[in-house]
Structure 1
Amino acid sequence: MAITVETLDKLERRITLSLAADALQNEVDARLKKLARTVKADGFRPGKVPMNVVAQRYGYSVQYEVVNDQLGEAFAKAAQEAQLRVAGQPRISEKEGGPVDGQLQFDATFEVYPEVAIGDLSAVELERVSAEVNEAAIDRTVEILRKQRRTFAQRPATEGAADGDRVTIDFEGKIDGVPFEGGKAEGFQFLVGEGQMLEAFEKAVRGMKTGESKTFPLAFPEDYHGKDVAGKEADFLVTVKKVEAQNLPEMTEEFIKSLGIADGTVESLRADIKKNLEREVKFRVLARNKAAAMEALLKAVEFDLPNSLVAAESDRLVEGARADLKARGIKDADKAPIPAEMFKPQAERRVRLGLTVAELVKANNLQAKPEQIQAHIEELAQSYEQPAQVIAWYMSDRQRMAEVEAVVIESNVAEFIFSKAKVADKAVGFEELMGQQAGA
């Protein structure tokens, strides 16, 4: 019998399902008889409980189970016959009026996947960035490695704090003469000139000697993370307890070997740094270009989204937010009242992009090939001391392999988009790509 599909809204559909009442009852009776073989009841031996007792105790739950099973099968068969791509789970309700000609009637309301029509990608304009690792980038990395292993020695009392020094201070801040939360500390340490404190605070401490005190005004930025003080001006009293000058290790053979460079030479260290930076640059360039390609792809499509998929994605984002709070040690994070609605725009974007990418992959055979997956894992593993173990770690877990496959597919899609679009190549500086300021 042909399936009648009723259109309720853009993607919402409804079909009527029928279950034969006698067949339904026969299945219920069969399951109850099977259950009676093992069910236990006071006053009866196992397997000897009367059927009327079994039916009274378990009849409703068994009937509910049978109806659900048969409705699921009937819906799947009807959707297949009608060639429907169902999105999410159907909502099924019994029709009023009881059985018709021995048939129980149910309405199944559901959504279908939209038709995804991708526009002409040759009209898309895209910027493709590239970057190189220069000598300055290697120099900065060497300095970072030295700073990570620096030591400190107390300055003479006659010398003031300078950039790179570690200072220990007591401080108290007041706004309109009133102390504020987080505005007081004792024995507080920070490194001068490394951006750990507001610039005005560092400027005030710079040049102060051990034992000195100073009062100075400080205006908190409008976008300061502490909302109670953002945009306000405070007066701070600072007392310097200790000033320690940094001592950077010399580039000796011993120091270089401590960094894992076997021959202890500067040349080998710089070569190793360059190799690692080039790997990082490659990943960042790919990520930036991929993001640009995906953004362009979204602009080339327009279609309605199944509400069920958006709701499911919003729920996943909420659970992710709760997991993040839990990881930060927030109490009762799993019960945090996070409204799914706040994630709706992000969920809609994810669903739209997911459906579009899936269509592009299917239409253009952009699936991840085994050799691509293997190459990506091997490249990821090169960042670790024992690559073989990392490769085995990925290969041994289906979920991790699926994540790698998804990344490779996204890369294939991005390459395809760039191959079709109008592309303007742009070289960017290492600092810009890495989100650093020159000289940092």
Structure 2
Amino acid sequence: MDVTQTTAEGLKREFRVVVPASDLETRLNDRLARLKDQVRLNGFRPGKVPVGHLRKLYGRAVMAEAIEELVRETNAKIVTDNGFKLAMDPQVKMPEDKTELEGVVEGKSDLSYTVELEVVPAIELADFKGITLERLVAEIGQEEIQDALKRLADQNRPFTAKAEGAAAETGDRVTISFIGRIGGEPFEGGTGEDIQLVIGSGQFIPGFEDQVVGVKAGETRTVTVTFPENYMAENLAGKTAEFEVTAKTVEAPGEVAMDDDFAKKLGLESLAKLEEAIGERLKADYAAQSRQRVKRQLLDKLDELHKFEPPPTLVEEEFKSVWETVVSDLKSQNRSFADEGTDEEKAKAEYRGIADRRVRLGLVLAEIGEKNGIKVTDEEISRALVERARQYPGREQEVWDFYRKTPAALASVRAPIFEEKVVDYILELATVTDRSVPKDELFKDDEPAAA
């Protein structure tokens, strides 16, 4: 076998491989010899089928398998011998001439093909001990706990029936049934029975709740609304619908006493324990936000410290994924690039830059993990899968089986765990200084991270 490198441009590599017909013949005969002990043919005892007869029956199929195996082995050897890290699967180009290919399959001609590779560049990692970061932290005050407690009380506020003939007001809860029509015809999803609606909650599309104000129990009225242009159901977006609404009950909100009894209804033994639980939840929220902001700083630093040419194919794949999301989002919002203060050409350039950054940072994080033995354990993946399965009550086993049987889906679970472990590793080496800030500054809506 002769393997010759024919191209080395940037991260592209191309090799020409020539396999003598005699080598293919040897592989074919070896496979047929193994097949002899496996097949069962009428008229022959097990293991006694002549190889020549097997060749007549299965020669072409077995030769195709032999060639496929040889190509796979050769590609792996090229990668190993040259110490390549591949950015994509090898692209094999077989002879296009049918006569030439036929001669190879029949064992009469040498096999000559090319294999194209795109490799990951060597990455020189920075000294992470030289990275300095500022971690924003905010104290949780009693005011925040009381605000959260009030919201919890509002969500659990009792409602009692209003007097007969009383009209619904903003804040009241009405139980309604409705039938929606567009152009006089009912539409899918436009019917509801015994739906509870707190007027003013923004539960329904704009304009609906305002027209329910004043309704009385037992009353039927027509509510006319126009679906938003960016409504999630495209078949309804921008269309005007009439709803025939019947109020079953009208209830007024009651007061909630925030005391030990209220806490017990929520499963805690006292108000003090409830406030403590709220404080712990807020503490976790603040810690997550603090980490997210310091992680964003770290990724910016890694971006600055690692400038290299990423594999073009990976960048293109990432760009396509990002661009599809951008275009889809604009379409769902019925907006254009002009509405965003740009045009398509400028937007593409911007998002190509984002794709480039994401690929580079992904490669850098992978390199750090590999060089420092950072692994994601089966136990960590299992815990993450359990959390995902819990999001689909009643379908937990189905979700679990899907991820376990789908390598790409399982990789999507592993990737964020790996990334967080690598980030933890770097933060341990970097100099991180805490700075106390007000809650509003901690949760300030900065530009979203590009990776």
Q: Which TM-score band applies after superposition, normalised by the shorter structure?
A: 0.5 to 0.7
3-state DSSP of counterpart to 1:108: strand
Q: Which residue of 2 aligns with 1:43?
A: 43
Measure the CA separation in 1 of the matches of 2:239 and 2:127: 52
User: Which residue of structure 2 aligns with residue 141 of structure 1?
Assistant: 148
Q: Counterparts of 1:417 and 1:201 in 2: how far apart (Å)?
A: 56
- Among 423, 429, 439, the alignment partner of 2:440 is 429
Indicate which of 305, 311, 326 corresponds to 2:311: 305
Q: Tell me the distance in 2 between the aligned counterparts of 1:296 and 1:406.
A: 19
RMSD across aligned positions (CA): 5.1
Does structure 2 conserve the Cα–Cα contact (< 8 Å) formed by 1:290 and 1:411?
yes
Q: Report the CA distance shift for 1:125/1:165 in structure 2 as closer, same or farther (over 3 A).
A: farther
Give the secondary-structure state (helix, strand or coil) at the position aligned to 1:30.
helix
Gap change, CA 1:434 and 1:259, over 3 Å in 2 = farther
TM-score (norm. length: structure 1): 0.65
* 8 Å contact from structure 2 (residues 6, 16) kept in 1: no
Equivalent positions of 1:344-355 (< 5 A) are 351-355=359-363
- Distance in 2 between residues matched to 1:34 and 1:229, nearest whole Å: 64
Aligned to 2:249: 242
Give the one of 271, 274, 292 matched to 1:269: 274
Residue 411 (structure 1) aligns with = 423
Cα displacement (A) at 1:290: 2.5
Given the two structures, how large is their TM-score scaled by the length of structure 2?
Answer: 0.64
Instruction: From 283, 286, 290, give the equivalent of 1:285.
Output: 290
Instruction: Report the AA paired with residue 57 of structure 1.
Output: L
Question: For the residues of structure 1 that align with 2:319 and 2:37, how far apart are their CA atoms?
Answer: 44
Deviation at 1:153, TM superposition (A): 2.5
**What is the aligned partner in structure 1 of residue 61 from structure 2?**
61
Could you tell me which amino acid in structure 1 is paired with residue 440 of structure 2? G
Counterpart residue type for residue 353 of structure 1:
L
CA contact (8 A) 2:314 2:359 kept: no
- What CA distance in whole angstroms lies between the structure 1 residues aligned with 2:193 and 2:57? 70
Residue-by-residue CA offset, 1:337-389 (whole Å, 9 max, x unaligned):
xxxxxxx97977654432132245567x594799xx89x99xx9xxxxxxxxx
Distance 1:180 1:11, change over 3 A: farther
CA distance in 2: counterparts of 1:64 and 1:188, whole angstroms: 64
Q: Tell me, what secondary structure is at the counterpart of 1:109?
A: strand
One-letter identity of the residue aligned with 2:120? Y
C-alpha deviation, 1:141, in angstroms = 3.3
CA contact (8 A) 2:87 2:311 kept: no
The residue that corresponds to 2:22 in the other structure is: 22
Matches of 2:373 and 2:52 in 1, distance apart?
60
Q: In structure 2, what is the Cα distance between the partners aligned to 1:25 and 1:47?
A: 21
Equivalent residue pairs, number: 382
Q: Deviations over 1:161-196 (max 9, x none)?
A: 244422123557778x86674666564431123221
- Aligned equivalent of 1:356, options 364, 387, 409: 364
Deviations 1:63-104 (A, max 9, x none): 2333333333333333333333333222334568789xx964
Alpha carbons 1:368, 1:412 under 8 Å: kept: no
Distance of 1:274 and 1:187 partners within structure 2: 36
Residue in 2 that maps onto 1:259: 266
**Which residue does the alignment assign to 2:11?**
11
**Structure 1 residues 258 and 431: CA distance shift in structure 2, 3 A:** farther
Contact 1:128–1:426 (Cα < 8 Å) also in 2 = no
Deviation at residue 45 of structure 1 after TM alignment: 1.7
Taking the aligned partners of 1:149 and 1:237, their CA distance within structure 2 comes to 29
Q: What is the CA-CA distance between 1:287 and the residue it aligns to?
A: 3.0
Return closer, same or farther for 1:39/1:218 CA change in 2, 3 Å cut-off: closer
Q: For structure 1, which segment, 146-155 or 105-114, has the greater mean C-alpha deviation from structure 2 after superposition?
A: 146-155
Offset, 1:48: 1.8
Partner of residue 347, structure 2: none
